């Protein structure tokens, strides 16, 4: 805080913090520790529920007394579920492929927006409903924000030039 480094407690050999949110005097940080998705509230570490071998938390939003954490839970990084936790209760998001990823979360009123990738498609979930932003390709949606009825999404698009050999 304010230029001062804070070391978060961990139990595994490797841990990483992915996102942070502040509400009042509370500081929430999410990430992973070993094979667990975790969050730290004011430096105190808590493990989120999982069903697979490993999980990670990549995004967090706080709205009133509700804490929304989005991430991944699966057998390995090629087979898993996009998930979110609301106050610690885990919900699986609908996907069409294996290895869905979640990058960002935003809350506006009672609406929950979760941004990610599923089956090589840039997608977001609005209250659990999957919405395709861009069909299969090298598209990546990285962050989402909501203001009133406007939804803002940033990312990148790679275009591939295929040389047919014709001169």
Q: Can you give the CATH number for the domain in which 42 is found?
A: 2.120.10.80
State the residue range of the domain holding 49. Answer: 15-157
Confidence of residue 90 (pLDDT cuts 50, 70, 90): very high
Task: Say if CB 114 and CB 80 are below 8 A apart.
Answer: no
Higher pLDDT, 26 or 78: 26
pLDDT score, position 165 = 52
pLDDT score, position 121 = 84
62 domain residue, yes or no: yes
167 domain residue, yes or no: no
1 domain residue, yes or no: no
Number of domains in the chain: 1
Task: Say if CB 100 and CB 111 are below 8 A apart.
Answer: no
5 domain residue, yes or no: no
Q: Give whole-number Cα distances, 156 to 15, 142, 151, in Å.
A: 27, 8, 17
What's the mean per-residue pLDDT of the chain?
A: 87
Cα–Cα distance, 15 to 10 (Å, whole number) = 7
Strand order in the sheet with 129-134: 101-108, 111-118, 121-126, 129-134
165 domain residue, yes or no: no
5-29 average pLDDT score: 92
Per-residue pLDDT of 93-133, as tens digits, reads 999 877 788 999 999 999 999 999 888 788 999 999 999 98
Cα–Cα distance, 140 to 115 (Å, whole number) = 10
Confidence of residue 161 (pLDDT cuts 50, 70, 90): very low
26-48 average pLDDT score: 96
61-86 average pLDDT score: 89
pLDDT score, position 101 = 87
72 domain residue, yes or no: yes
Q: What is residue 34's DSSP assignment?
A: T
7 domain residue, yes or no: no
Taking 80 as the threshold, does the pLDDT of residue 79 lie above it? no
163 domain residue, yes or no: no
């Amino acid at each position: 805080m304010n230029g001062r480094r804070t070391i978060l407690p961990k139990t595994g050999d490797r841990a990483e913090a992915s996102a942070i949110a502040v509400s009042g005097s509370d500081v929430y940080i999410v990430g992973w520790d070993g094979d667990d998705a975790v969050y730290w509230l004011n430096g105190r570490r808590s493990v989120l529920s999982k069903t697979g071998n490993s999980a990670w938390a990549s995004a967090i939003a706080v709205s009133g007394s509700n804490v929304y954490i989005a991430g991944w839970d699966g057998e390995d990084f090629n087979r898993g579920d996009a998930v979110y936790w609301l106050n610690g209760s885990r919900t699986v998001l609908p996907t069409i492929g294996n290895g869905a990823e979640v990058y960002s979360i935003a809350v506006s009123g009672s609406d929950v927006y979760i941004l990610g990738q599923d089956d090589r498609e840039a997608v977001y979930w609005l209250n659990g409903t999957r919405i395709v932003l861009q069909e299969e390709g090298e598209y990546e949606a990285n962050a989402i924000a909501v203001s009133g009825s406007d939804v803002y999404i940033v990312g990148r698009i790679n275009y591939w030039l295929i040389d047919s050999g014709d001169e």
